[in-house]
């Protein structure tokens, strides 16, 4: 049985002046990917909890929030209260990962840890059993439109082996430079949630773009099987 491939268009690449229309264009996706940047952990500034609340009100898709912020311990409750369905926080930004995972679960949301490109997969050894998803950053976070880092493919395989060793099957999400051109590569290596920004919002026919990325991803899943 082939593993499903889920698509999460990133609103970081959307037209903010027409966000409700942009969200309507991606109704064939599986998640809305919501990048939170604070200008400290990464060199960019994006969305606060009120924008997430507005996205929830304008769209029926679950919101996959990625907190690229230096103080997730303080800000996480605000994004959970705003309606985030799945929350990733950066491993590098907290000394209390287990505490944050428990907080996310206590709010009825799913918990994920994001790893920057230079952070080894082995750092998740003691917490992988508690996670609903792992987000592998396939570019250095901070800006959209970057190119996929080839070393990410090896890292995905390492993460899949770690999951197999622990007998767990969290979702594995990739974010950065993902398109129909490399979707098969990342799904063959173990990913099953694909974040796509400019590859979806940068074209006119968003449903066709989502379908093309999903189809390419399923090709990689078939190779893995």
Q: Is 33 annotated as a binding residue?
A: yes
| Distance from C-alpha of 42 to C-alpha of 72, rounded to nearest angstrom | 13
Q: Which of 149, 171, 145, 156 has its CA nearest to residue 64?
A: 171
- 175 among known catalytic residues: yes
Q: Which of 38, 64, 132, 175 is catalytic?
A: 175
Q: Is 164 annotated as a binding residue?
A: no
Q: Is 143 annotated as a binding residue?
A: yes
Strands (E), 139-199: 171-175, 193-196
Taking the CB of residue 162, how many other CB atoms lie within 10 A of it?
Answer: 16
193: left (phi over 0), alpha (psi -120 to 50) or beta: beta
Q: Is 39 annotated as a binding residue?
A: no
Q: Is 198 annotated as a binding residue?
A: yes
Q: Is 175 annotated as a binding residue?
A: yes
Q: Is 108 annotated as a binding residue?
A: no
Taking the CB of residue 126, how many other CB atoms lie within 10 A of it?
Answer: 10
Q: Is 177 annotated as a binding residue?
A: yes
**Mutual angle of helices 49-58 and 72-81, in 10-degree steps:** 30
Q: Which of 25, 35, 38, 64 is catalytic?
A: 35
| Distance from C-alpha of 142 to C-alpha of 29, rounded to nearest angstrom | 23
Q: Is 13 annotated as a binding residue?
A: no
Binding site: residue ranges? 10, 33, 35, 66, 142-145, 175-177, 197-198
Binding site for substrate: residue ranges? 10, 66, 142-145, 175-177, 197-198
Residues tagged active-site: 35, 175
Binding site for a divalent metal cation: residue ranges? 33, 35, 66, 175
């Amino acid at each position: 049985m082939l593993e499903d491939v889920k698509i999460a268009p990133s609103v970081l690449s959307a037209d903010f002046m027409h966000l409700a229309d942009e969200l309507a264009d991606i109704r064939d996706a599986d998640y809305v990917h919501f990048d939170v940047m604070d200008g400290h952990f990464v060199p960019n500034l994006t969305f606060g909890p009120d924008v997430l609340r507005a996205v929830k009100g304008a769209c029926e898709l679950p919101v996959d929030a990625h907190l690229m912020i230096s103080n997730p311990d303080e800000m996480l409750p605000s994004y959970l209260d705003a309606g985030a369905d799945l929350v990733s926080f950066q491993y590098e930004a907290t000394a209390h990962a287990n505490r944050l995972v428990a907080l996310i679960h206590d709010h009825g949301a799913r918990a994920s840890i994001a790893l920057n490109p230079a952070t080894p997969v082995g750092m998740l050894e003691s917490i992988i059993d508690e996670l609903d998803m792992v987000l592998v950053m396939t570019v250095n976070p901070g800006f959209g439109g970057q190119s996929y880092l080839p070393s990410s493919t090896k890292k995905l395989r390492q993460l899949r082996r770690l999951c197999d060793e622990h007998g767990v099957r969290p979702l594995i999400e990739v974010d950065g430079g993902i398109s129909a051109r490399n979707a098969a590569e990342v799904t063959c290596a173990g990913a099953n949630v694909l974040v796509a920004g400019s590859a979806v919002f940068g074209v006119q026919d968003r449903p066709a773009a989502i379908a093309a990325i999903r189809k390419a991803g399923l090709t990689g899943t078939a190779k893995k099987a």
